[in-house]
């Protein structure tokens, strides 16, 4: 091996030729002549960390057996060298590696960076360290870490959450919708439970007289009042139109359920002094018996609601 330091970039290029065209050499001896026995080599793979030439040689033979049908090529090779002592030199550069199989099932196309430390030994220059790396393809120019990908993942997660919310919630009131309510009901296991159906009285007249913008405002205000009246363990949903459903547990007697209905009505009534257009609510209620179908419970609550509305018309 030439003892002159100015030949190290050329020697580095020869090293890559040996590595990529290993079959032409039929032995590891050519690489042995360049690498120091205690050379530390770090490759691009997570497992490619070799503490000496013997570990590297064993791995290389396995690699070449695996890639025997792959003929690596490289282009755009460049390197520079920097003296770091009388007997040490640092060489660094870039190389583009490419190849594709005839059926195009295997395509290799990557830029690779490398840094190499040469040390002058008694028998010439030897490599004591090699580090090869591949730039993160998700890391954009000018970024110090792949924040573009991180931002994309974050945006995707936010989009998923947004779509999930849109699928689960009513867009006007932000309450859960009826479909989501039924999913919650399937997991409901509270004892002494009651279901309430709430209907806004004469809501059509508000839309007809004051317009749909005012009507939407009334829906939002009433949903807010209902939300502030229920407990954290209760479930409130907008069923559709001007109807809401509340599912409550822990009402041991019908009197408890009736008191809850009166509290709802009172809070709705108290809000009218702040509104130009306002109304009242009617509420149907029913206890939930173990083993009942959801449709049975809804039908009974509906009957209770319509009884109340009929009684209001009579009075």
Among residues 269, 254, 258, the alpha carbon closest in space to that of 201 is found at 269
Pairing of strands 235-240, 176-177: parallel
Among residues 204, 206, 192, 281, the alpha carbon closest in space to that of 245 is found at 281
pLDDT of residue 243: 96
- In three-state secondary structure terms, 242 is coil
For the residues of 258-295, what is the DSSP string, one character each? HHHHHHHHHHHHHGGGG-SS---EEEEEEE--TT--HH
pLDDT of 215-233, one tens digit each? Answer: 999 999 999 999 999 999 9
Q: What is the C-alpha separation between 294 and 292, in angstroms, rounded? A: 6
CA dist list (Å): 301 to 27, 232, 241, 288: 86, 22, 17, 10
Q: What is the C-alpha separation between 132 and 113, in angstroms, rounded? A: 6
Model-level pTM? 0.54
pLDDT of 111-154, one tens digit each? Answer: 899 999 999 988 888 999 999 988 776 666 666 555 665 676 77
List alpha helices for the chain, DSSP H. Answer: 8-20, 22-25, 29-32, 53-66, 147-168, 178-186, 203-210, 212-229, 254-270, 294-314
For the residues of 171-224, what is the DSSP string, one character each? TTT--EEHHHHHHHHHT---SS-EEEEEEETTHHHHHHHH-HHHHHHHHHHHHH
pLDDT of residue 1: 45
pLDDT of residue 177: 94
pLDDT of residue 172: 94
Mean pLDDT of the chain: 87
Low-confidence ranges of the chain (pLDDT < 50): 1-2, 24-25
């Amino acid at each position: 091996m030439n003892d002159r330091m100015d030949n190290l970039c050329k020697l580095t290029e020869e090293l890559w030729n040996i590595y990529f065209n290993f079959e032409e050499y039929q032995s590891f001896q050519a690489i042995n002549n360049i690498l120091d026995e205690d050379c530390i080599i770090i490759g691009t793979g997570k497992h490619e960390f070799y503490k000496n030439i013997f570990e590297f040689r064993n791995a290389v033979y396995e690699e070449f057996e695996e890639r025997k049908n792959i003929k690596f090529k490289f282009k755009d090779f460049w390197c520079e060298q920097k003296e770091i002592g009388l007997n040490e030199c640092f060489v660094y550069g870039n190389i583009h590696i490419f190849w594709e199989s005839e059926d195009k099932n295997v395509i290799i196309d990557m830029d690779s960076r490398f840094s190499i430390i040469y040390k002058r030994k008694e028998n010439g220059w030897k490599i004591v360290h090699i580090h090869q790396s591949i730039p993160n393809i998700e890391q954009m120019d000018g970024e110090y870490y792949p924040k573009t990908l991180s931002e994309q993942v974050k945006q995707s997660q936010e989009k998923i959450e947004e779509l999930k919310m849109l699928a689960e919630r009513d867009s006007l009131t932000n309450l859960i919708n009826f479909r989501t309510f039924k999913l919650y009901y399937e997991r409901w296991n509270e004892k002494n439970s009651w279901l309430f159906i709430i209907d806004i009285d004469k809501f059509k007249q508000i839309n007809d007289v004051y317009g749909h913008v005012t009507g939407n405002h009334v829906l939002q205000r009433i949903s807010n009042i209902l939300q502030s009246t229920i407990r954290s363990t209760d479930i409130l949903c907008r069923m559709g139109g001007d109807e809401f459903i509340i599912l409550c547990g822990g009402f041991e007697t019908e009197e408890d359920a009736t008191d809850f209905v009166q509290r709802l009505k009172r809070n709705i009534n108290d809000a009218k002094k702040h509104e130009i257009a306002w109304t009242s609510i009617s509420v149907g209620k029913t206890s939930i018996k173990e083993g009942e179908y959801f449709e049975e419970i809804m039908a009974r609550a509906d009957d209770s609601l319509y009884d109340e509305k009929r009684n209001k018309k009579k009075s």
